[in-house]
């Protein structure tokens, strides 16, 4: 991308989280995409790398050092991808963002640039939420419904049916013997949200997820002393961008009790928009360049907004 906001090339590739692949493999994937996008690389002023799984300063330092050694740009900026969600969803450049895909994470930014963030290491850092946790909870609820240890739930049929099986016990056996990858439980989150309209057990899982989202926002607002401010809260990631009315309604209801002045937004722009805008701001681009970048990346509309 040029400093005037013109998009020169766009390449897409596989997941590149250093948390799962390691730093060097992550950078190998990014370098292959850079090669694909530009056969003859121009001299690049700034490379902005906002990546899932970058949670600690040591990880930022390592990736910046390794990326700099590859000579991609004069300057390298590395940080967590939740910053991209926040910037894609607001023109203010500050607020609170929650991303909820396979996992869950949150970041808050004040007008003067102070940050509140979370490690996002799953159970190690006290997290619950995202597709994996919701999916695994659905598998467990289905199994307990089948054998009578738990309440009866429509998940007993809907969960194994998603994988072409007839019973939770058959699904447990298939996962145990490796016929179905355990990571595929992330696919069950939409099943839970669909069943939650009529099933109390599924609704309880949906409401637990809403509570976790609100807890992250609440703590970010408290840390940054923003609970009384008209803050934009941006929701991103596959689970939240699905637009499930029950989940979003539960989040909004609980959030109003925590911070009545917030406005809740589900971002429609992909994270790459936020990355582009942050990079352009870093090099001092004009507002017209930011608007052009947003338009050229195909997302002129910021978000669906709910205001109190």
Assess whether 74 and 2 both reside in one domain: yes
pLDDT tens for 167-184 read 999 999 999 999 999 999
DSSP states of 66-111 as a string?
Answer: HHHHTT--SEEEEEETHHHHHHHH-SSS-EEEEEESSSEEEEEE-T
Integer Cα distance of 287 and 277 in angstroms: 10
Assess whether 75 and 135 both reside in one domain: no
Q: Would residue 71 count as lying in a domain?
A: yes
Question: What is the CATH number for 47?
Answer: 3.30.420.40
Q: Would residue 38 count as lying in a domain?
A: yes
pLDDT at 91 over 50: yes
Q: Would residue 306 count as lying in a domain?
A: no
pLDDT at 300 over 80: no
Q: Would residue 42 count as lying in a domain?
A: yes
Q: Would residue 239 count as lying in a domain?
A: no
Q: Would residue 102 count as lying in a domain?
A: no
pLDDT tens for 245-265 read 999 999 999 999 989 999 999
Integer distance in angstroms from the first to the last C-alpha of the chain?
37
Task: Give the residue among 300, 267, 293 at the shortest CA–CA distance from 89.
Answer: 267
pLDDT at 156 over 80: yes
pLDDT of residue 41: 75
Of the residues 150, 181, 206, which one is the last residue of a structural domain? 206
Of the residues 177, 206, 235, which one is the last residue of a structural domain? 206
pLDDT of residue 9: 87
Structural domains of the chain, count: 2
- The pTM is what? 0.90
Tell me which residue range forms the domain holding 158.
130-206
pLDDT at 302 over 60: no
pLDDT tens for 182-235 read 999 999 999 999 999 999 999 999 999 999 999 999 999 999 999 988 999 999
Of the residues 161, 177, 206, which one is the last residue of a structural domain? 206
pLDDT at 55 over 70: yes
Assess whether 72 and 134 both reside in one domain: no
Q: Would residue 232 count as lying in a domain?
A: no
Per-chain mean pLDDT for the chain: 92
**SS3 breakdown of the chain: % helix, strand, coil, rounded to 5?**
50, 15, 35
């Amino acid at each position: 991308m040029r400093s005037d906001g013109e998009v020169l090339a766009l390449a897409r590739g596989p997941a590149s989280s250093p948390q799962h692949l390691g730093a060097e493999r992550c950078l190998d994937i990014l370098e292959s995409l850079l090669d694909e996008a530009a056969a003859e690389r121009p001299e690049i002023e700034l490379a902005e790398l906002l990546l899932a799984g970058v949670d600690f300063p040591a990880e930022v330092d390592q990736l910046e050092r390794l990326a700099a050694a590859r000579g991609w740009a004069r300057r390298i900026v590395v940080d967590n991808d939740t910053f991209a969600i926040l910037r894609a969803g607001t023109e203010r450049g500050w607020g609170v963002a929650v991303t909820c895909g396979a996992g869950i994470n949150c970041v808050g930014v004040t007008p003067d640039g102070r940050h509140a963030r979370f490690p996002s290491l799953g159970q190690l850092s006290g997290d619950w939420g995202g597709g994996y946790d919701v999916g695994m909870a659905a598998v467990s609820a289905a199994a307990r419904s089948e054998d009578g240890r738990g309440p009866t739930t429509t998940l007993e049929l809907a969960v194994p049916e998603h994988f072409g099986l007839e019973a939770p016990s058959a699904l447990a056996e298939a996962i145990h013997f490796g016929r179905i990858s355990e990571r595929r439980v992330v696919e069950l989150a939409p099943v839970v949200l669909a069943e939650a309209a009529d099933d109390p057990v599924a609704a309880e899982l949906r409401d637990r997820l809403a509570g976790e989202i609100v807890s992250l926002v609440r703590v970010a607002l408290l840390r940054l002393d923003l609970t009384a401010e008209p803050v934009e809260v941006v929701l991103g990631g596959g689970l939240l961008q699905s637009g499930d009315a029950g989940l979003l309604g539960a989040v909004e209801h609980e959030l109003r009790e925590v911070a009545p002045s917030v406005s809740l937004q589900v971002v429609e722009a992909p994270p790459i928009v936020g990355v582009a805008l942050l990079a352009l701001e870093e090099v001092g681009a004009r507002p017209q360049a930011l608007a052009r970048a947003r338009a050229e990346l195909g997302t002129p509309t910021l978000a669906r907004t709910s205001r109190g």
